């Protein structure tokens, strides 16, 4: 298996349509990166959930998922389930994020995610982050839209368990959902780990990747 590093990692941009998307899709990756690089800058943007309990959950959760990081989080108030109808506002928010950071890595939803909010946000990313490594995270749900990933971040057993614990601890509003449990999260991580010869992993989709093998 060929392993190619992304070079120096000093800034990460993470975007989600809803509070908890980033943590579910890439929480283990954030924990891994932040623990390895104290002081790393993480610019996060969430399009819905602002001004209420969901925003408070998100702020506490991402602080825990980004230990020691310079975390800068924006949570907007676009209507849940209606992001495609608010295209201009969503596009402006993504462009504003790009104006304030030039990240080494972008974490975003997948373009083939079945949820219209996730998919709409994913399609906005290439318009603002044209020359960046964008990894599309996956979120397990009843739609059955999990595909064949093209990139993996192995997780240590400790990180995988910490991710599950933090998800359960910080998002009380989601605990009633049938798919929101330890078995779902750790089970998917185990499957993705098998696929990349690790115990656990998070998996991502990439639509475009430029290699620099000469340096």
Contact 160, 26 (CB under 8 A): no
User: To 5 degrees, how large is the angle CA 147–CA 150–CA 152?
Assistant: 105
Q: Among 84, 64, 76, which residue's Cα sits nearest to residue 19?
A: 76
Residue 213: predicted pLDDT: 77
Q: Is the pLDDT of residue 42 over 50?
A: yes
Q: What is the pLDDT of residue 212?
A: 76
Q: CB neighbours (10 Å) of residue 201?
A: 25
Select 10-141+149-207's CATH number: 1.20.1260.10, 3.40.50.10320, 3.40.50.1360, 3.40.190.10: 3.40.50.10320
Residues paired with 45 in a beta bridge: 15, 74
Residue 72 dihedral angles phi and psi, to the nearest 5°: -130, 105
pTM: 0.95
Span 60-88, pLDDT tens digits: 999 999 999 999 999 999 999 899 999 99
Domain segments of the chain: what residues?
10-141+149-207
């Amino acid at each position: 298996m060929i392993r190619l590093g992304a070079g120096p990692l000093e800034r990460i941009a993470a975007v989600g349509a809803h509070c908890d998307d980033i943590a579910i899709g890439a929480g283990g990756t954030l924990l891994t990166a932040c623990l390895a690089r104290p002081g790393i800058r993480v610019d996060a943007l969430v399009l819905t959930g602002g001004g209420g309990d969901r925003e408070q959950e998100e702020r506490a959760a991402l602080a825990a998922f980004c230990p020691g990081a310079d975390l800068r989080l924006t949570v907007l108030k676009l209507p849940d389930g209606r992001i495609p109808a608010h295209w201009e506002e969503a596009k402006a928010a993504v462009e504003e994020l790009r104006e304030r950071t030039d990240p080494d890595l972008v974490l975003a939803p997948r373009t083939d995610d079945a949820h219209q909010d996730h998919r709409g946000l994913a399609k906005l990313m290439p318009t603002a982050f044209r020359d960046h490594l964008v990894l599309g995270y996956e979120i397990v749900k009843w739609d059955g839209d999990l595909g064949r990933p093209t990139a993996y971040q192995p997780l240590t057993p400790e990180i995988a368990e910490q991710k599950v614990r933090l998800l359960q601890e910080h998002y009380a509003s989601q605990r009633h959902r049938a798919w929101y449990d330890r078995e779902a999260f750790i089970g998917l991580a185990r499957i993705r780990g098998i696929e990349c010869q690790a115990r656990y992993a998070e998996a991502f989709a990439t639509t475009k990747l430029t290699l620099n093998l000469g340096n």
